[in-house]
Amino acid sequence: MAILHLSLISTITCSQRKATRASQDSVKTQKTLIATDSVSSFRLCPCGRRHFIGAMPLLPLAPSYAASSSTEDLKRLRPRKPDWYDELFAWSMDTSMEQYEKEISSYKMKLFNNLVGKAEKVLEIGVGTGPNFKYYSNIPNVSVLGVDPNAKMESYARKSAAQAGLKPEYFSFIHAVAEAIPLEDSSVHAVVGTLVLCSVADVTRTLNEIKRVLRPGGVYLFIEHVAGEDGSFLRLVQNVLDPLQQVVADGCHLTRCTGDYILEARFNGGADINKASLSSLAYLSSHVYGVAYN
Ligand SMILES: C[S@@+](CC[C@H](N)C(=O)[O-])C[C@H]1O[C@@H](n2cnc3c(N)ncnc32)[C@H](O)[C@@H]1O
């Protein structure tokens, strides 16, 4: 009964978001193109530019990653969980994603190509066990900052970084939430997030933080699992399982319309948002992936 009740709430919330977006679309002046790629894609870009980041010097990072306000936000937005829970979740991410990573690898290769020659300082939100490090290996002089509130992810991420040939001094693990990133404005060339907006407490705030820390012309690469189509069997299953998923998978929501959030964040240079369906994740099969341009 409680599960059904919560499921209804999440359905209504998503439909309401769509209604809000529709009314925003009617007044927006930005150019929106609808194209087709795998399932469908939309491109929102007011200027039609693609922003290339040269090998420019970086602005200094905040002096301390553990800035007090971000520590407060970490405690507030992601209340501390028992060590065994964090360790179990980190271990399960490390051991259960092999099939998925195989299936998503062609998407990731294409996406991460956007960084080659354009990004040296990369921030990865929700870096987790570091499954993306291997895609940084052909980016010259890359250094990676990984934000994650689960401290147990650090050792796995460091191992992945080493396996990918990233020297320890080129990877920093930052114990924080993506809603309050302890970095200065315009301090990174690129932000990467895979399977993380499902888990943050506040998606809009996270996207605003991404825009804040990105340099002008910087890019945000994303791959996110999202709610299935309204009225589909998949969506019904997601509605039923959503409350349980949040408990067992560290706050992961099954019914988020993450593509809508990214569109509504209105990145300066627009966003390419594509849809894909991935069989290896069962009821998490619906995905959006793409690039947003700051
Ligand atoms: C499903 S895992 C994905 C990890 C990795 N990005 C991947 O693709 O495998 C979600 C990650 O987001 C992290 N996370 C949860 N809440 C977060 C928040 N508010 N800010 C940043 N990361 C968060 C979790 O600790 C976890 O590492």
Q: What is the pLDDT of residues 44-90, one digit of tens each?
A: 333 333 333 333 333 334 333 445 577 888 888 888 899 999 999 99
Which of 53-62, 170-179, 188-197, 267-276 is the least confident region? 53-62
CA–centroid distance, residue 193 to ligand 1 (Å): 8
The CB of 78 under 6 Å from ligand 1? The reply is yes
Pairing of the two strands 286-293 and 143-147: unpaired
Query: Residue whose CA is closest, atom 22 of ligand 1?
Result: 126
Mean pLDDT score, 119-128: 96
Structural domains in the chain? 2-51+58-293 (3.40.50.150)
Look at the pTM and tell me if it is higher than 0.85. Answer: no
Beta bridge partners of 271: 44, 292
Number of helices (H), then strands (E), in the chain: 8, 9
> 3-class SS at 277?
strand
Indicate whether residue 221 lines ligand 1 (CB < 6 A): no
Mean pLDDT over residues 132-160, rounded?
Answer: 96
- Closest to 52 measured CA to CA, from 141, 134, 119, 149: 119
Q: 202 exposed, middle or buried (CB, 10 Å; 0-12, 13-18, 19+)?
A: middle
Q: How remote is the CA of residue 27 from the centroid of ligand 1, in Å?
A: 34
SS (H, E, C) 9-27: HHHHHHHHHHHHHHHHHHH
Per-residue model confidence (pLDDT) at position 165: 94
Q: Which tokens belong to 157?
A: 């991420």
Q: What's the 31 CA to ligand 1 centre distance in angstroms?
A: 32
* Phi (first) and psi of residue 173, to 5 degrees: -95, 125
H, E, C per residue of 23-67 = HHHHHCCCCEEEECCECCEEEECCCCCCCCCCCCCCCCCCCCCCC
Among protein residues, the one whose CA lies closest to atom 24 of ligand 1: 126
- Tokens standing for residue 193: 């997030």
